[in-house]
Amino acid sequence: MNKLQLADYIVFFIYFIAVSAYGYYIYHKKKSAAMSSKDFFLAEGSLTWWAIGASLIASNISAEHFIGMSGSGFKIGLAISTYEWMAAATLIIVAIFIIPLYLKNRIYTMPQFLAQRYSDKVSTVMAIFWLLVYVFVNLTSIIYLGALAISSISPISFEWSIAALSVFSIIVTLGGMKVIGYTDVVQVVVLLLGGLVTTYLALSLLADKFGFEGDILKGLGVLRKEAPDHFHMIFDKSSPHYNELPGLSVLVGGMLINNLAYWGCNQYIVQRALGADLKTARNGILFAAFLKLLIPVIAVLPGITMYVLHQNGMFQQEMVDTAGKLKPDHAYPTLMNLLPAGLKGVAFAALTAAIVASLAGKANSISTIFSLDIYKKYFNKEAPDTKLVRVGRWAVIISMLLAAIVTPALRSLDQAYQFIQEYVGFLSPGVLAIFLLGMFWKKTTAGAALAGAVLTIPISTILKFLPSWTNGTFPDYPFLDRMTITFFAVAAVMIIISLVKPRPASDKHAIEVDTSMFRVSAGFVAGSLIVCGILAALYTVYW
């Protein structure tokens, strides 16, 4: 029954009031007469390691995980967890090799890095690309999945859900990064607790179905027995899911490229650490890596559980749309509807927390890029901090309104999580090639970077659509493999251009690289080894 009880509303409003009050407290604590742009966009020096780690996860985890990843768990199985588990390993790489370069060179935005290393032209082209992707892919997909879930478990319509999420997110974002960072700590606690409640319910329900009286450990055993094909991390070419998760590409190919671009070259993620010192930033990122290991427990296991229950005759009507088509993304909302009063409010608050935190993080990054890399550079070079903050807030409002208007067009999607990964992946390979060559090869030229920026989307598009344009003559590569091909094609073009037309001696664009920056503490090494050991065990058991 799609209805919240009084207890659910009470729990949800306690969450809403707590987040709002805490955000208000953080906003006014030690508040200066006029908030500086660095305070608003970066919360410079204000975030602790645990706030950075929590904010990274809260901004990353959203409805696309609760709804989209559960849907993929229903259809594909545990293998979809590779996006989370490989992200944990990637975060360690980013903490050691990439974050130090940003902090050493006082980088505040990704376009700023490109301007400092290459040229303003490269910076502007990529800034425009990022803004378009953030607004029309990231914001829209999160609002869509969030509205889908909220309208499925409450009397609020899909359209009003879009409006409510947009307004709540705007309110949180207008306080700046400090408010986002610290309220994200609350959001993470809520989303983890709510997610665990839903997972517990799913496994308890499964245990009851098979006569084990709610024993969730027995429920886990049932999952392995009833859906053995859903517990493989690596697919071979005979698998119907190979095109989505192609073999070893999920470890060393496209998945690594996807994660490095996302965690190392993505404004709305990297921004959390750019206002901190190196030790604090690294510890925060390592904390995020540990939290990443937990996400499949709350996002994938419920989907696999729903698959087994559906295969055994339950939820036949709930898992189809009005046309009778099976919709994997209905798995999580269906489970949430089964929660008792009060606990359903906890799960509802968890879902809302994930959605709002992620929307706020992306909106803040849109605001940062537009204000610092577009407005200040081309419209008002002498803009004072107060003006930049005001422009940033308007950028938040306008971007959220645009996304809300476009969101209803996504209602035809089957697996929204895969949609997000694939279409963000059109840009990611080129971004990573431009950043890595810019960081670690001094000969890379601005012309090469501009060529890489311009070519990445056309190459990705050709690789995707050429098979249908040629009636199958050209091979139809999985999208993760297309990312690998695009990355190496763009990198090769950039290397050739840089060698054919070297940088002139007068080109002063550069970033400072000091190998001593890559040294890490014994504590960081120990934590990293624990994360990698857990990953090795998981992939060994579920290969």
Are 197 and 56 contained in the same domain? yes
Are 158 and 306 contained in the same domain? yes
Task: Give dist(CA 370, CA 363) in Å, integer.
Answer: 11
Q: How far is CA 381 from CA 304, 395, 438, in A?
A: 53, 17, 26
Are 399 and 473 contained in the same domain? no
Q: Which domain holds residue 180?
A: 6-25+34-424
Residue 433 lies in a domain: yes
Residue 538 lies in a domain: no
Task: Give dist(CA 119, CA 372) in Å, integer.
Answer: 15
Over the stretch 160-202, which tens digit does the pLDDT of each residue have? 888 888 887 887 776 665 566 666 677 677 777 778 888 888 8
Q: Which pLDDT value is given to residue 21?
A: 76
User: 387-407 burial, b if ≥16 CB within 10 A, otherwise e?
Assistant: ebbebbbebbbebbeebbebb
Residue 532 lies in a domain: no
* Residue pLDDT tens, the chain, 543 long: 456 788 888 888 887 787 777 767 766 664 544 455 555 555 445 678 888 888 788 777 776 677 778 888 888 888 888 989 999 999 999 999 999 998 888 888 888 889 899 988 888 888 888 888 888 888 888 888 788 777 877 788 888 888 888 887 887 776 665 566 666 677 677 777 778 888 888 888 888 888 777 778 887 888 888 888 888 888 888 888 888 888 888 888 888 998 999 898 887 777 777 777 889 889 999 999 999 998 898 888 988 888 888 888 788 877 777 677 777 877 887 887 777 777 778 777 777 777 777 787 788 888 888 888 888 888 888 877 778 888 888 888 899 899 989 888 777 665 555 666 677 778 889 999 999 999 989 899 999 999 998 898 899 889 888 888 888 788 888 888 889 999 999 999 999 999 999 988 877 787 888 888 888 999 999 999 999 999 999 999 888
Residue 321 lies in a domain: yes
Q: Which pLDDT value is given to residue 164?
A: 86
Are 445 and 411 contained in the same domain? no
Residue 542 lies in a domain: no
Are 260 and 275 contained in the same domain? yes
Residue 534 lies in a domain: no
Q: Which pLDDT value is given to residue 35?
A: 53
Are 249 and 304 contained in the same domain? yes
Q: Could you please report the per-residue DSSP string of 281-316?
A: HHHHHHHHHHHHHHHHHHHTHHHHHHHHHHHTT-ST
Are 383 and 448 contained in the same domain? no
Among 424, 443, 477, which residue terminates a domain? 424
Q: Which pLDDT value is given to residue 413?
A: 60
Nearest to 55 by CA among 176, 195, 215, 184: 184
Nearest to 67 by CA among 168, 150, 5: 150
User: Quick check: 176 and 35 in contact, CB under 8 A?
Assistant: yes
Are 270 and 317 contained in the same domain? yes
Residue listed under structure tokens 């992946």: 425
CATH number of the domain that 66 lies in? 1.20.1730.10
Among 398, 424, 450, which residue terminates a domain? 424
Are 369 and 453 contained in the same domain? no
Among 407, 424, 441, which residue terminates a domain? 424
Question: Kindly report the CA angle at 57 between 55 and 61, in degrees rounded to 5?
Answer: 125
Say how many domains are in the chain.
2
Residue listed under structure tokens 């070079």: 381
Maximum CA extent, the chain: 77
Residue 524 lies in a domain: no
> Please, which contacts does 386-394 make with residues 24 or more away whose CB atoms are closer than 8 Å?
386/34, 386/35, 388/37, 388/40, 389/35, 389/36, 389/37, 389/40, 389/176, 392/37, 392/40, 392/41, 392/367, 392/368, 393/174, 393/367
Kindly report the backbone phi and psi dihedral angles of residue 474, in degrees, each rounded to the nearest multiple of 5, phi listed first: -85, 135
Task: Give dist(CA 543, CA 223) in Å, integer.
Answer: 16
User: Quick check: 216 and 207 in contact, CB under 8 A?
Assistant: yes
Are 213 and 233 contained in the same domain? yes
Are 347 and 379 contained in the same domain? yes
Residue 325 lies in a domain: yes
Are 376 and 507 contained in the same domain? no
Q: Which pLDDT value is given to residue 33?
A: 43
